[in-house]
Structure formats: C-alpha cells, structure tokens
Structure 1
Amino acid sequence: MASSTVTVWSDIHCPWAFVAVHRLRVARAEAGLDVVFDQRPWPLELVNGRGTPKHIVPVETAVLANHEPEIFNTYDNPEWPSTFLPAFELVAAARRVHDVRAAEEVDYALRLAFFWDAIDVSIRAGLERALEKVDVDRAAVLAEWDAGSVRADVLADYERSKSLPIQGSPQVFWPDGSTTHNPGMTDHEWVGGIPRIRSADPGEPARLLRALAS
C-alpha cells in the first residue's frame, strides 16, 4: 500500500495515549504497513490550565500496567516534571531537523523514558537520555531545541487543535477523515479515586489500522 499518515493528538505523559501509541506501533510492525504516526501536541497543562496532579498519573499507570505490562514501571524519580512542554518541543525539533518519522520515534522514546525509566523529561539532561535510543542526529536535534524557536511550533499546533473534534488524549485521526478517541479503552470511569475499566478491546487499534490496507 502507499504510505499513509495517521495523526495522533495527545499528551506525552498520558498513560492512555501511551497504550494507544504502543498498540498502533505493534500493529503496524505485525502487518508490515507503510504508515507513519504524526504525533501532535495536546498538552493537558494548556487544556486544563494547570499541571496534572502528581497522584493521578501513577494511579492510571498502575491500572494500565495490567493491560500493557511491558511499557510501564513505577515512577520512582523524586523529581516530577512541572511541565511537559520541553518534551513536546523536542518532538518539534526532530520534525524540523528530520521529518515526521523522526518526530514519531522521538515522541515514543520520550514516552518510554518517562513511563519505563522514570526520567524527568522536562529538563535537558532527561531529553538527552531519551534521545540516546533514537536513530537521529542528536546533536542537531538538541541544537534546534536549544535555539528556543520550537516552542512556537508546539503552540501553533495547540491552537490548531482547538478547531478539531478532540474528546481527550489520545485522539486518533485516520486518513479518511474519521477519528477515534482512546481506541479500545474508552469504557472506563473514575470511582473512588481509581479508574475502573469496565471493558477493553485491545485489538481495536490493530483493526482500525489494518482497515487502511483494505
């Protein structure tokens, strides 16, 4: 099939988004599809006007680790990022230096660094550690990030997101114009301070992706 682009709007520190992104990447590899995931910023700190309280993400992570245990660990770093905008900026820098595929790889490395390795991705040292696992020109990407102008890219994308039918993080937009919120994991609610997953469909991301080839 011809190369296709699937656009994903999400927050890098959203564990629900990490599940969706991971499952989409696995499905792409298993099906051998020529698809790129165009990762776009939907920073919850801008959406909500405040940072995500520290206690929320570990609770969500503990629940979701039962569904995707290979991508989650306990966040045991005493340093909790006060902002995730620097991580979004690194993805934008990779897109400027290379292309959308490189940006996708940097985005995934940042999610893995945060959720698996408990790395603070709000500081340069943390961003450098995440980049170590990505096949990009690391020096050039960091130089672009250091220049500071990539913040404009992130904010421009966020402004664009306001005109889109985004229900939450993640929101996946398919090439035919259709969109799916949190594929396979939408049937949940918070009860007693814990997200209760009523039902899950782990195969939905793969089915939606394979439909591109039909």
Structure 2
Amino acid sequence: MSTAHHDNTGTAPDDPRLPDSDDTIVVFTDLNCSFAHVAVHRLHETRRRLGLEGRIWFDLRAFPLELFNREVNARPGVDSEIAVLGAVEPDAGWRLWQGPDWTYPVTMLPALESVEAAKAQGWAASEQLDRALRRAFWAEGRCISLRHVILDVARGTGAVDVDLLATALDTGSARAAVMAQYEAAREDRVVCSPHVFLRDGTNSANPGIKAHWIGGDFGVGYPFIDDDRPEVYEELLTHAAKLAESATAGG
C-alpha cells in the first residue's frame, strides 16, 4: 500500500486528475478497496465535523482495480484486510462475507458506473450512492455487481432518482467517463485506491496511512499499519475550503 504524501508539483489546471472547481475534492477509488472504505468514511465524517457539508463536494472517480490487475479483488485478500482496517475505523461498517462464494461480487464496474451516472443528478446524489454502495458491500454483504442490487441501494438513499439511474445504466451513458478516469489514472498518474486530488494539485495517496504486508502479498498475507494520521483529512478539507473561499473572493 502506498505511503501517503502531499505534492502539488507537476500538475496543470487542465490535468484530468484534478477537480473542475475549487470547492470539489476528487477521490480516485474502487468500491471493494478497504483502504478506500476508510478514506471515504473519514472524508464524510471530517467534512461534517468541520461544518463543510454543502460547501465542499466529493467527486468520486473510478480506480477500477479489476482493470489494473485483470481480476477483481480476491476474497481472501479482502477478508484479510477487514480485521485490520475495521480496527482502524470501526464505524465505517464491516463484516466478513457471509454468503456462498458464488454470490461474491465478480466486478465493480457497474457500481462504479452508477456512481458516475448519479452525478447528473448532483454531487449529493453521487456521494450518497457511493457511500451506500460501500456499506452494502462491506457491512451488509450484498453483491453490488448486480443491477437490481445497485438500484435497490440507490432507492434506499432517498437522494437518487432510481428511474433516471436505471436508464443511465441501461444505456451506458456514464461508461465512457469511467473508462476515461481509468485512462487518466494509468502509468502511476494515480498511485492507488484511494488517491485524493485538490484543484491546486495538492494530492494524497492513501491519506494518512502507511502500511506494508506481512507473510505475503494481497491474498496471501495481511496488512500491517505502520502509521495512521487521521488528522490529514482535516488538513485536506481545510485547504480545499480555503481554495473555495479564495475563488469566491476573487470571482
């Protein structure tokens, strides 16, 4: 797992990794990445605590591990992370998979596409669908590869027009955007899931957490957390708020 870092060098305003506006934070992530589950939970909770809801938004972009690795995150690797990351951020919601192996998700692409498609309904719809899909997988053991599960999760948010989302999924209207995000992330331009970017190029890969694997790589060994600095999230959100305020004052 990548070491967290901040770096605002080597970026330009038209860099495809960056948000389109100062009041938005881009989060490259996969839905079945445990480190991303921690990061998204901390982003939401820190934003709420700082009183920045409605002022700073999260642009959840796809970092599809199955395309990078040519396979979906294997269950043994995911299971090995739950006890470790669950102890880091227990309130995010965790549970070992309870269903038969053949009901385990084989792809995250439809769910990632749904998060992208929901942006047409506003940032809040996309954010809430993303968070609900994470909880559906990590805490409830639901197969979010399936269309009907995605739509049921969307319905439960109360923030998503499910008919519009269904049409978007059925027509593939957000698919090109997901693939463009994958292309933007390739060749280590995005280091890992999660990787956060601010408008001025400030970015942090796996924010606040340094980790390494013991006993083998993903799926064989288990992660060990060398360092955890959750205060990084306050730093990122506070900086984003300052960027947004400066843009408003100068506008």
Query: Is the pair's TM-score, using the shorter chain for normalization, greater than 0.5?
Result: yes
Q: 1:26 aligns with which of 45, 62, 86?
A: 45
**Partner of 1:213 in structure 2?**
241
Structure scoring higher RCO (CA < 8 A, sep ≥ 6) equals 2
1:25-66 C-alpha deviation (Å, 9 max, x unpaired): 111111111110000001000111222211101111221111
Runs (4 or more) in structure 1 with deviation over 6 Å come to none
Q: Which has the larger radius of gyration?
A: 2
- Give the Å deviation of 1:163: 6.6
Query: 2:31 is aligned with what amino acid?
Result: I
Query: 2:30 is aligned with what amino acid?
Result: D
Structure 1: gaps spanning 5 or more residues:
none
**Partner of 1:129 in structure 2?**
152
What does 1:108-127 correspond to in 2, within 5 Å?
Answer: 108-127=131-150
TM-score (norm 2): 0.79
1:136-192 C-alpha deviation (Å, 9 max, x unpaired): 11121112112234322211221122277311110000122111001111x211001
**Partner of 1:83 in structure 2?**
107
Q: Distance in 2 between matches of 1:74 and 1:20?
A: 19
What does 1:144-159 correspond to in 2, within 5 Å?
Answer: 144-159=168-183
Q: 2:127 aligns with which of 75, 82, 104?
A: 104
- Give the Å deviation of 1:105: 1.6
Matched length: 211
**Identical amino acids, percent of aligned pairs:** 37
Maintained 8 Å contact 1:6/1:174: yes
Query: 1:184 is aligned with what amino acid?
Result: G
What does 1:50-199 correspond to in 2, within 5 Å?
Answer: 50-70=71-91, 71-78=93-100, 79-96=103-120, 98-134=121-157, 135-162=159-186, 165-185=189-209, 187-192=210-215, 193-199=221-227
**Partner of 1:36 in structure 2?**
57
Maintained 8 Å contact 1:93/1:142: no
Maintained 8 Å contact 1:3/1:36: no
Give the RMSD, CA atoms, in angstroms.
Answer: 1.7
